[in-house]
Amino acid sequence: MHNLSGIKIAILVANGFEQSEMTSPLHALKDANADVAIISSENITVRGWQHTEWADEFPIDVQLNNADPDDYDALVLPGGVMNPDKLRLDDKAIQFISHFVKFRKPIAAICHGPWTLINAEGIKGKTVTSWPSIKLDLINAGALWVDQEVVRDELLVTSRKPDDLPAFNREMIAMFSEKTKATI
């Protein structure tokens, strides 16, 4: 069991994130003693999506306009179709993600989450997986796409779907532990 005590993790979401792809990593990170913040452009709460309908609302810990990526050691990008599609159009969100890419901080993205990495220029040359509908987008952006439950390429962990969450969480926590402990 990895202990992420003292490690600050950002989970970046917009309304419409796939709820389990945010809550499962959130709980796994908190169980590993990480300091986790939900960050969003929304004002007070952000709302999840569960398969085909709206789900629960969650309080935002830090509004994106007030979030400093230097304050965080790692980043989680949940999927859902609406969430990354909205984030891709949000310049502040792309700048926030780009900081993690530029400064080589670990990133974990699941389902449609890797979509945002195209705009943040963090996918070229990486071996990744994702929800199959964005496979061609990732390939066209220069990634090598594979169909596996979890893929780790240096400081990037990706998974395909909610069924992959146990493997995603395990690999995400291992990567965050290795990389962030080395830099603290």
Q: How many other CB atoms are found less than 10 A from the CB of residue 50?
A: 13
Helix axes 165-183, 19-31, angle to 10 degrees: 50
Helices (DSSP H) in the chain: which residue ranges? 19-31, 82-88, 91-102, 115-119, 135-140, 165-183
Helix (H, G, I), strand (E, B) or coil at 169: helix
C-alpha–C-alpha distance, residues 130 and 21, integer Å: 12
27 tagged catalytic: no
- Rg (the chain; Cα; Å): 14
Active-site residue (options: 2, 51, 99, 111): 111
Total number of residues shown for the chain: 184
CA-to-CA dists, residue 173 to 14, 34, 58, 143, 161, angstroms = 23, 9, 22, 23, 17
Question: Tokens for 39?
Answer: 């960050």
Query: Annotated catalytic sites, by residue?
Result: 111-112
